[in-house]
């Protein structure tokens, strides 16, 4: 358990207004996690969106970024698995030490969705599980929007790979902009009105591929 006064409380989160006073962590946070990017999207992605999420998370990890996502089905799980696969392959220090953080909408003692029990355990070994809820807290209607705010606060910015009209990614984009964090919208998400409007209004930048995403976070 980390309180706001604890030196281990994440630096990125410490400076946002809606930071939670307590965090629960399984695994371990690292000072290097201040260089983190969230890769998020729909629970029901297209095959192209799934591939793009995998490639983007892998590219970010190889560039030295910690990849954050929300352990949900679809895009989130694909982003986490890309980092885990990279670690398993090895191929250099950066690959073998790649990190991913899962931000939960439940307490750490819960697994949601249930089929991600193995994935959740693997992430705890390859980075950390992070929650603002007491360990036995179940999923609720309000816990997942709160998770999106926390995920945004932990990261330098959020990459929306693919989304739906009614999506937690929209909540996260709103929080990211309020927190002064970058929002990147990839091409599969640009078919959605709200995502396209974010880019048109200058609140977000568009990206076609992982190289564009990396360029966005070099600014």
Render pLDDT for 39-75 as a digit per residue (tens, 0 to 9): 999 999 999 999 999 999 999 999 999 999 999 999 9
CATH of the domain at 141: 3.40.50.450
pLDDT over 90 at 33, yes or no: yes
Distance CA 39, CA 150 (A): 14
What pLDDT was estimated at residue 26?
98
Look at residue 4 and tell me if it is in a domain.
no
Look at residue 113 and tell me if it is in a domain.
yes
Count the Cβ atoms, other than its own, within 10 Å of residue 79: 31
pTM above 0.95, yes or no: yes
Report DSSP state, residue 138.
Answer: P
pLDDT (tens digit, 9 = 90+) per residue, 142-182? Answer: 999 999 999 999 999 999 999 988 888 999 999 999 999 99
Look at residue 48 and tell me if it is in a domain.
yes
Section 74-102 average pLDDT: 95
Mean of the per-residue pLDDT values of the chain: 96
Provide Rg for the chain, Cα atoms: 16
The number of domains in the chain is 1
pLDDT over 80 at 219, yes or no: no
CB 101 within 8 A of CB 66: yes
pLDDT over 90 at 90, yes or no: no
What pLDDT was estimated at residue 91?
80
Look at residue 8 and tell me if it is in a domain.
no
pLDDT (tens digit, 9 = 90+) per residue, 171-200? Answer: 999 999 999 999 999 999 999 999 999 999
Look at residue 194 and tell me if it is in a domain.
yes
What pLDDT was estimated at residue 93?
87
Q: Enumerate helices (H) and strands (E) in the chain, giving the number of each.
A: 9, 9
Distance of CA 134 to the CA centre of its chain: 20
């Amino acid at each position: 358990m980390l309180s706001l006064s604890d030196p281990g409380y994440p630096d990125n989160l410490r400076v946002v207004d809606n930071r939670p006073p307590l965090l629960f962590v399984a695994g371990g946070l690292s000072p290097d996690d201040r260089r983190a990017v969230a890769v998020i999207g729909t629970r029901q992605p297209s095959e192209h969106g799934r591939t793009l999420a995998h490639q983007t998370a892998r590219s970010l990890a190889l560039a030295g970024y910690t990849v954050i996502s929300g352990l949900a089905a679809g895009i989130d799980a694909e982003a986490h698995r890309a980092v885990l696969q990279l670690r398993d392959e090895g191929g250099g220090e950066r690959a073998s030490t790649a990190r991913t953080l899962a931000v939960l909408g439940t307490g750490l003692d819960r697994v949601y969705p249930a089929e991600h029990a193995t994935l959740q355990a693997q992430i705890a070994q390859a980075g950390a599980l992070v929650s603002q809820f007491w360990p036995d807290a179940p999923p609720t209607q309000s816990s997942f929007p709160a998770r999106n705010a926390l995920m945004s606060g932990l990261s330098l910015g959020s990459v929306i790979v693919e989304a739906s009209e009614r999506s937690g990614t929209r909540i996260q984009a709103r929080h990211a902009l309020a927190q002064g964090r970058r929002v990147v919208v990839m091409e599969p998400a640009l078919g959605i009105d709200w995502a396209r409007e974010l880019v048109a209004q200058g609140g977000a930048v568009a990206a076609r591929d992982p190289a564009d995403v990396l360029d966005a976070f070099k600014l």
